[in-house]
Structure 1
Amino acid sequence: MPSMGIISRKSPIAFMVQKMLPIILNVKDKKILIFGGGEVSERRARKFLDAKAKVTIISKDFTPQLKKMNVNIIEKEVKKSEIPKLIKNYDIILACTSHEELNNSIEEEARKQGKLVNRADKISDFIIPASFEVEGVVIAVSTLGKSPALAKLIKRRIAKLITKEDVKMLKLQEYARELLKNKIPEQRKRKEILKSLLSDYDIANKDIEEAKKIIRRKIECFRE
C-alpha cells in the first residue's frame, strides 16, 4: 500500500455534478478522523479545530504545521483491511490521501458504517467551502469543486461588502427577536416586525444602546 501524502494540484480531478444542500453543521466535540498528513489535511483540520471538534489524523507522513496543531496524531501506513476498525469510533471521516484507491476504500467503508465522509479528490457526502465569519455573520462559498481558487476570490469580494452597520443591525435583530418571543406569540407577526426594523431609519442612525430603546418602544406599540 503506498504511503499517504499531499494531493498534487497538477493532477486532473474528475468531480461529480450533483445537487447539494448548503448547510451549517455543529461539530463541537464531534470526533473527526482525517486520513492523510499533507497540506489539504492541514487546512481541513484547522477548520474543524476552529469549530471545536476533536481531530485525529492518521498518516505515515505529516506537514510540520500538523505536528504543531492540537490534534491526535497516529503515525502509520494504513492498510485496506484496517479501515473498518480505524473509523469505527469516529463521527466524520475525511479521505485526504494522494491515492484514489485508498480514498475509495475509506469512502466505501464510511458509507457502510453510516458516517459522513469528505474526500479531497472528488465530491462525496459534503464539501468544506471557502468561508469566513464576521461577528456572527457566516459566509460560505463553493463552486462544487470546479474551482476552489475562484471560491476564495468570491469569498474575499463578499467580505468587503459587510459593513459595521450590518454587524450592528445583526446585534439589534438578535435583541429584538428575544424581546418578541416573550411579547408576540404569532411567529408570522414577529417576522413582519423584524423585517420592518431592518429598514427603520431611526434605528439605523442611532448608536446601539439608543437603538435598543427605540426597538423596545416600537415593540410595545406593536403589542397595542
Structure 2
Amino acid sequence: MRYYPVFLDIKGKSAVVIGGGAVAGRKVTGLLAAGASVTVISPRAVKGLEALAREKRIRLVKKAYRNGDLEGAYLVVCAASSKAANEAAAMEARARGLLLNVVDAPEECGFIVPSVIDRGSLIIAVSTSGKSPALAKRLREGLEDVIGEEWETFVDLLGAVRKKLLKSRMNNVKKERVFKELVHSPLPGWIKGGDEKEINGFLRRLLGPGFTLRALGVGLKGV
C-alpha cells in the first residue's frame, strides 16, 4: 500500500489554491464542502471562482504566485497552468511543512485526492494511487449506482439508533445483535421508496415503541 488513507478535518483551516482555472475550481469546491477557509492566488480566474469571491465564500488574490504567499496556510493545492508557478509554490509548501497536493503530479504530492462518493456522513473514497484517475472515476460512478442517496438517510438513522441505545440499559450482547440486524436489514430499500410505515413498523418490532423516524429525528426526503 503506497498511501496511508486518512480523512482530514480541515474545517476553518486555511487552504491556498494556486491557479484560477477549471481544475482549481473543482479543488475549491471540494475544500469549501469540507469547511476550509479558501484563498485562491491567480492572475485570472474562471467565472465560478469570480462568483465565489463576490459572494465572499473565498478570498481571490489576482496576482501571480510569489514566495511568501503561503504564510499561515495549512494546506496547499497547486493547480496553475504554469508549471513554474506550481513548482515554486510546492517548494515553499515543503519548506514550511504544509500539506501539499500538486495536480497531475502524484510524485510531488504530500497527499493525493481520491475520487469520492459523498452521502452525508457516509463517504467512500476510491484511489488508484494517482496511476489512473479515469479508472477511479469509473469505479466511483459504478458505486454511485449501487449506493444511492437513500444511504445518507440510512446512516443518519443508524447513528440516531446507536446514540439512543448507548444510553439505554440494554446489555452489550443484545446491542451487538440489534446493530447487526439493522445493518443487514431492508431499510435502505424502504427509505428509497419512502415507505415510512414499513420503516417504523420494523423499528418498533426490533427496538420498541420509542423508536420511530419522528422520535429519532430522522426525516425521509420527499415524505
Question: Structure 2 length as normaliser, TM-score?
Answer: 0.74
* One-letter amino acid of the counterpart of residue 114, structure 2: P
Tell me if 1:45 matches 2:28. Answer: yes
Deviation at 1:113, TM superposition (A): 1.8
In the alignment, what sits opposite 1:212? 203
In the alignment, what sits opposite 2:132? 147
Q: Distance in 2 between matches of 1:175 and 1:47?
A: 27
Tell me if 1:162 matches 2:147. Answer: yes
User: Alignment partner of 2:77: what SS?
Assistant: strand
| Residue deviations 1:84-139 (CA, integer Å, cap 9, x gap) | x2111111111112333432332232222221111113121112222232353322
Q: Structure 1's 159 and 126: CA in aligned 2 closer, same or farther, altered over 3 A?
A: same
Q: Structure 1's 165 and 44: CA in aligned 2 closer, same or farther, altered over 3 A?
A: closer
| Residue deviations 1:29-73 (CA, integer Å, cap 9, x gap) | 111111111111111011111222211111112122221123211
User: Alignment partner of 2:124: what SS?
Assistant: strand
* One-letter amino acid of the counterpart of residue 166, structure 2: K
Per mean C-alpha deviation after superposition, the further-off stretch among 181-190 and 30-39 is 181-190
Q: Structure 1's 216 and 103: CA in aligned 2 closer, same or farther, altered over 3 A?
A: same
Tell me if 1:118 matches 2:111. Answer: no
Instruction: Percent identity, please.
Output: 27
In the alignment, what sits opposite 2:11? 28
Q: Structure 1's 185 and 107: CA in aligned 2 closer, same or farther, altered over 3 A?
A: farther
Tell me if 1:76 matches 2:59. Answer: no
- Alignment RMSD: 3.1
Matches within 5 A, 1:174-185: 174-183=159-168
Q: Distance in 2 between matches of 1:61 and 1:188?
A: 60
Q: What is the aligned residue count?
A: 198
Q: Distance in 2 between matches of 1:66 and 1:103?
A: 19
User: Alignment partner of 1:29: what SS?
Assistant: coil
User: Alignment partner of 2:65: what SS?
Assistant: coil
Q: Structure 1's 109 and 178: CA in aligned 2 closer, same or farther, altered over 3 A?
A: same
In the alignment, what sits opposite 2:45? 62
More contact order relative to length (CA 8 Å, sep ≥ 6):
1
Unpaired runs of 5+ in structure 1?
A: 1-17, 219-224
Cα pair 1:57 1:72 within 8 Å, conserved: yes
Q: Distance in 1 between matches of 2:100 and 2:26?
A: 16
Cα pair 1:32 1:91 within 8 Å, conserved: yes
2:71 pairs, out of 88, 102, 108, with 88
User: Alignment partner of 2:117: what SS?
Assistant: strand
Per mean C-alpha deviation after superposition, the further-off stretch among 39-48 and 139-148 is 139-148
Question: Structure 1 length as normaliser, TM-score?
Answer: 0.74
Q: Distance in 1 between matches of 2:123 and 2:204?
A: 27
Unpaired runs of 5+ in structure 2?
A: 191-196, 210-223
Cα pair 2:119 2:151 within 8 Å, conserved: no
Q: Structure 1's 160 and 92: CA in aligned 2 closer, same or farther, altered over 3 A?
A: same
Tell me if 1:195 matches 2:195. Answer: no
